[in-house]
């Protein structure tokens, strides 16, 4: 089927049950290559659970997940990452005691294959500094290279997180509420940044901010009570009365 | 630059010290300093509280004692055998414990170390309650007679410096970078593609091996390995030394060990001899309440503020 090659990520019958509660119910998600795809829905709709299932931080009760046609249902989280599928976290995920440059470098370092080399000097990583600084420049953090990540403002931390993710040259980026808890200025900056880095990549994001979703996303999947309510581009989805009832109604 | 001057000063002090202070006391101090620094590798840099490090320290003490006394191995080789066995024991305990975190990790390491303790109590070669006595010190490199305390001191100093250098390098290595990333944010390190359990395991094995080197050296100094070395008190003491000196600083645990060993030695002979645990306990409480960064950690902050 040549058609299926367009989808980088697919789930079939994805289900997650916690004790007596179905958090994710028979979700069939298809993410098209080079799309920015959003997962939206009211609180408790199961967005983050879907996210954790896709990145293997949770184990599904039923169903399968395939990436590039390969079944990853039983693959470990670290291995998913090595396949080019990198996630971000709802709370900004930086390494707070390391500098911004070190944060990015630790991601670049994996390819050197020296992560177990305890006898080599840390200066053996200096060859990665140029690339790390290039990535910091890309997300507008030129002046923060030597700043300790924990001391950086929130919006900058999220930008650093994206730079770190980009260091792995991911084919598929999964962003969990990238603009959550940000002021308008930061939201704008991160939105621009996501658009910039989306070239030649696929992005799946969970997002609350509908402004961000409408300007950024090619396709939107609406979740409600763990199941897919509807799917389509922003115009289609926002015109759907069920979505208005379930989501927009509450949001307004 | 200042840092190198500091290192040179300390080194000079260590070189002349045996002519000013009783060398055996200094050797004890160096052994415990190495033990605490090794422990700090897993607690301060790996973020894992092991409560079973006595098993590595004391286990290596017995094995080295046996290897030198019964098998007749030269001193250097005996130390390596002890440290190697501690590393292997570390691998075994680590494999079982490393998947757990926080209090569970501490409990599993404690339980396994207690099992090791009972093995050593009942095994014949350890001499049980009497300990393993009369371990010959031998010679260093086949030339220097270690029966001489000054020679022995420089030998112990060399072992300490090698151990310390290994720890310093590990912390400042590509591996050290990944380790601090894991300590800072484990899920993120996983999402970057690192197998965090295997990195923690390597840190644990290195820490165990170096703790073993410290215990093995102590056996040679005192020509004795005893059950005190494997008792869980020892695991607690090393936590105390590390926290007192400064968690996650390179030199801190060595300073903490020096403070504790000095206090134990001087208090034991004075009027307060029965009160040693109370004094140490009080110091610990004060340290945890008021100087949470430990001696070296607080000093570092102070220096940063003033300059």
Q: What is the pLDDT of residues B68-94, one digit of tens each?
A: 988 988 989 999 999 999 999 999 999
- Taking the CA of residue B165 and the nearest CA in chain A, the distance in Å comes to 10
* Measured torsion, CA atoms of residues B154, B158, B160, B164, in degrees rounded to the nearest 10: 150
> Phi/psi of residue A140, each to 5°?
75, 30
CA B298 to CA B30: how far, in whole Å?
22
Model pLDDT, residue A86: 86
β-sheet bridge partners, residue A205: A38, A175
pLDDT at B28 over 90: yes
Q: Are strands A219-224 and A227-232 parallel, antiparallel or unpaired?
A: antiparallel
Asked whether residue B258 is assigned to any structural domain, the reply reads no
Asked whether residue B73 is assigned to any structural domain, the reply reads yes
Over residues A74-78, the mean pLDDT reads 86
Question: Is the CB of residue A128 less than 8 Å from the CB of residue A112?
Answer: yes
Over residues A114-134, the mean pLDDT reads 90
Model pLDDT, residue B65: 92
Residues of chain A whose beta carbon is less than 8 angstroms from a beta carbon of chain B are 55, 57, 77-79, 81-82, 86-89, 93-98, 102, 105-107, 109-110, 112, 114-122, 124-125, 164, 168
Model pLDDT, residue A5: 54
- Taking the CA of residue A103 and the nearest CA in chain B, the distance in Å comes to 8
What CATH number does residue A22 fall under?
A: 3.40.50.300
pLDDT class of B182 with cuts at 50, 70, 90: very high
pLDDT at A4 over 60: no
Residues of A in contact with B181 (CB under 8 A): 95, 98, 106
Over residues A106-110, the mean pLDDT reads 92
Read off the tokens for B108: 């599993």
Choose the closest CB to B177 out of A81, A109, A119: A109
Nearest of B158, B159, B213, B192 to residue B41 by alpha carbon: B213
* Measured torsion, CA atoms of residues B258, B260, B263, B267, in degrees rounded to the nearest 10: -140
Strands of A165-248, DSSP E: 172-176, 202-206, 219-224, 227-232
Q: How many residues does chain A have?
A: 252
Nearest of B198, B113, B79, B188 to residue A89 by alpha carbon: B188
Question: Is the CB of residue B213 less than 8 Å from the CB of residue B82?
Answer: yes
Residues of A in contact with B173 (CB under 8 A): 117-122, 124
Q: The dihedral of CA B240, B96, B104, A92: what is its sign?
A: positive
Residues of B in contact with A78 (CB under 8 A): 190, 193-196
Testing the interface with B: which of A78, A102, A117, A118 to mutate, by most B Cβ within 10 A?
A: A118
Asked whether residue B237 is assigned to any structural domain, the reply reads no
Choose the closest CB to B190 out of A77, A114, A168: A77
Nearest of A64, A48, A70 to residue A11 by alpha carbon: A64
Strands of chain B, DSSP E: 132-133, 139-140, 144-145, 224-225
Q: Residue A17: enclosing H or E segment and its boundaries?
A: strand A7-18
Q: How many residues does chain B have?
A: 307
Model pLDDT, residue B266: 83
Q: What is the mean pLDDT of chain B?
A: 89
Model pLDDT, residue B43: 92
Over residues B247-264, the mean pLDDT reads 89
Read off the tokens for A99: 């500098």
Asked whether residue B277 is assigned to any structural domain, the reply reads no
pLDDT at B120 over 50: yes
pLDDT at A2 over 60: no
pLDDT at A250 over 80: no
Q: Total domain count for chain B?
A: 1
- Taking the CA of residue B34 and the nearest CA in chain A, the distance in Å comes to 18
Look at A122 and B176 and tell me if their CB atoms are within 8 Å: yes
Q: Residue A157: enclosing H or E segment and its boundaries?
A: helix A154-166
Question: Is the CB of residue B244 less than 8 Å from the CB of residue B283?
Answer: yes
Q: Are strands B224-225 and A36-40 parallel, antiparallel or unpaired?
A: unpaired
CA B108 to CA A95: how far, in whole Å?
28
CA A100 to chain centre: 20
At residue B224, the 3 state secondary structure works out as: strand
Q: Total domain count for chain A?
A: 1
Helices B196-222 and B174-184 sit at what angle, rounded to 10 degrees?
A: 110
Read off the tokens for A74: 């039983």
Residues of A in contact with B199 (CB under 8 A): 115-116
Write out the residue range of the structural domain in which residue A232 sits.
2-251
Q: How far is CA A55 from CA B27, B105, B106, in A?
A: 52, 26, 29
Write out the residue range of the structural domain in which residue B204 sits.
21-231
Q: Residue A12: enclosing H or E segment and its boundaries?
A: strand A7-18
Look at A120 and B172 and tell me if their CB atoms are within 8 Å: no
């Amino acid at each position: 089927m040549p058609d299926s090659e367009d989808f980088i990520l697919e789930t079939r019958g994805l289900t997650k049950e916690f004790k007596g509660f179905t958090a994710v119910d028979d979700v069939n998600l298809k993410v098209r290559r080079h799309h920015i795809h959003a997962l939206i829905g009211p609180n408790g709709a199961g967005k983050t659970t879907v996210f954790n299932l896709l990145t293997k931080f949770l184990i599904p009760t039923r169903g399968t997940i395939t990436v590039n046609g390969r079944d990853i249902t039983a693959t470990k989280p670290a291995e998913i990452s090595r396949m080019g599928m990198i996630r971000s976290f709802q709370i900004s995920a930086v390494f707070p005691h390391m500098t911004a440059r070190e944060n990015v470098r630790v991601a670049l370092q994996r390819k050197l294959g020296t992560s177990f080399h305890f006898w080599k000097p840390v200066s053996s990583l200096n060859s990665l500094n140029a690339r790390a600084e290039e990535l910091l420049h890309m997300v507008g953090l030129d002046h923060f290279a030597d700043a300790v990540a924990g001391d950086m403002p929130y919006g900058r931390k999220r930008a650093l997180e994206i730079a770190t993710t980009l260091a792995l040259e991911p084919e598929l980026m999964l962003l969990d509420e990238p603009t959550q808890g940000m002021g308008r200025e930061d939201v704008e900056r991160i939105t621009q940044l996501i658009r910039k880095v989306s070239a030649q990549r696929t992005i799946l994001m969970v997002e609350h901010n509908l402004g961000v979703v409408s300007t950024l996303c090619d396709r939107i999947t609406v979740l409600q009570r763990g199941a897919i309510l509807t799917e389509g581009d922003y115009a289609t989805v926002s015109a759907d009365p069920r979505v208005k009832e379930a989501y927009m109604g509450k949001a307004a | 630059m200042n840092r190198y001057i500091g290192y040179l000063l300390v080194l000079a002090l260590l070189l002349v010290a045996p002519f000013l202070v009783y060398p055996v006391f200094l050797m004890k101090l160096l052994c415990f300093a190495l033990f605490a620094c090794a422990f700090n590798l897993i607690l301060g840099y790996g973020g894992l509280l092991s409560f079973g490090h006595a098993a590595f320290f004391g286990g290596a003490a017995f094995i080295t004692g046996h290897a030198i006394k019964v098998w007749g191995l030269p001193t250097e080789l005996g130390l390596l055998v002890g440290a190697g066995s501690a590393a292997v024991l570390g691998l075994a305990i680590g494999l079982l414990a490393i998947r757990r975190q926080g209090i569970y990790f501490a409990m599993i390491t404690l339980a396994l170390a207690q099992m090791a303790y009972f093995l050593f109590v009942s095994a014949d070669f350890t001499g049980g309650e009497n300990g393993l006595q009369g371990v010959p010190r031998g010679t260093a490199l086949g030339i220097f007679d270690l029966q001489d305390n000054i020679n022995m001191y420089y030998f112990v100093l060399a072992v300490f410096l090698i151990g310390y250098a290994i720890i310093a390098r590990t912390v400042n290595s590509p591996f050290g970078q990944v380790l601090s990333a894991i300590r800072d944010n484990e899920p993120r390190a996983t999402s970057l593609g690192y197998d965090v359990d295997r990195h923690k395991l390597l840190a644990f094995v290195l820490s165990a091996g170096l703790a073993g080197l410290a215990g093995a050296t102590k056996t040679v100094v005192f020509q004795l390995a005893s059950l005190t070395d494997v008792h869980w008190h020892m695991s607690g003491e090393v936590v105390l030394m590390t926290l007192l000196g400064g968690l996650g600083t390179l030199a801190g645990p060595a300073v903490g060990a020096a403070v504790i060993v000095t206090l134990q030695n001087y208090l034991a002979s004075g009027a307060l001899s029965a009160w040693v645990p109370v004094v140490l306990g009080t110091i610990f409480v004060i340290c945890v309440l008021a100087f949470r960064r430990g001696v070296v950690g607080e000093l570092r902050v102070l220096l940063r503020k003033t300059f």
